[in-house]
Amino acid sequence: MTDVKRIVLSSDHAAIELRQKIADHIKALGFEPVDIGPTTPESTHYPKHGEAAANLVAKGEADLGIVLCGTGQGIMMAANKVKGIRCGVCSETFSAKMIRAHNNANMLSIGARVTGQDLAIEIVDAFLTTEFEGGRHGTRVDMITEIEA
């Protein structure tokens, strides 16, 4: 995915360490991480962090987004409320590839209390290195977009 460069990252308090590890990893791969925090460990609210990351993707200020919370579920739900966002939670690499290849997902969510850090990195790699296949999958993704309208 040669045209993907800017990756926004956000999380709640449950996933700060994993988020920073992912940011370092993707930077080493040549991506530009846009880490919008938070950086301090106080309890916070995942919806606002999911929304903030999703807004950057929806506005085209980031190519893709990675969000994290304890399960990955809450922050995924929040991100998906932003128009134009297709975010999936993944705890294994097959789904991380398929949400790009078939669903043209523009955001990935991971649960830091579900998925070990090394596997999370593999999931991120699978997501960032898989391209959308288009074709019949494009028709179906268009149908998702029509639901928003």
How many Å apart are CA 89 and CA 27, to the nearest integer? 22
Q: Establish whether 102 is a catalytic residue.
A: yes
Q: Which residue is nearest to ligand RB5 (CB)?
A: 74
The reply to whether 69 sits near ligand RB5 by the rule CB under 6 A is: yes
The reply to whether 12 sits near ligand RB5 by the rule CB under 6 A is: yes
Region near ligand RB5 per CB under 6 A, out of 31-39, 67-75, 81-89, 141-149: 67-75
CA 56 to chain centre: 12
Closer residue to ligand RB5 in complex, CB, 77/141 = 77
Q: Establish whether 87 is a catalytic residue.
A: no
Distances, alpha carbon 132 to alpha carbons 1, 97, 129, in Å: 9, 9, 10
Q: From the list 14, 16, 36, 58, which residue makes contact with ligand RB5 (rule: CB under 6 A)? A: 14
How many Å apart are CA 126 and CA 143, to the nearest integer? 25
How many Å apart are CA 43 and CA 126, to the nearest integer? 30
How many Å apart are CA 76 and CA 85, to the nearest integer? 10
CB of 116 to ligand RB5, least distance (A): 16
Closer residue to ligand RB5 in complex, CB, 76/104 = 76
The reply to whether 89 sits near ligand RB5 by the rule CB under 6 A is: no
Q: From the list 33, 74, 105, 123, which residue makes contact with ligand RB5 (rule: CB under 6 A)? A: 74
Closer residue to ligand RB5 in complex, CB, 14/26 = 14
Q: What is the per-residue burial (b if ≥16 Cβ within 10 Å, else e) of 39-72?
A: eeeeebebbebbbbbbbbbbeeebbbbbbbbbbb
> Which residue in the list 49, 87, 90, 102 is annotated as catalytic?
102
Q: Report the catalytic residues.
A: 69, 102
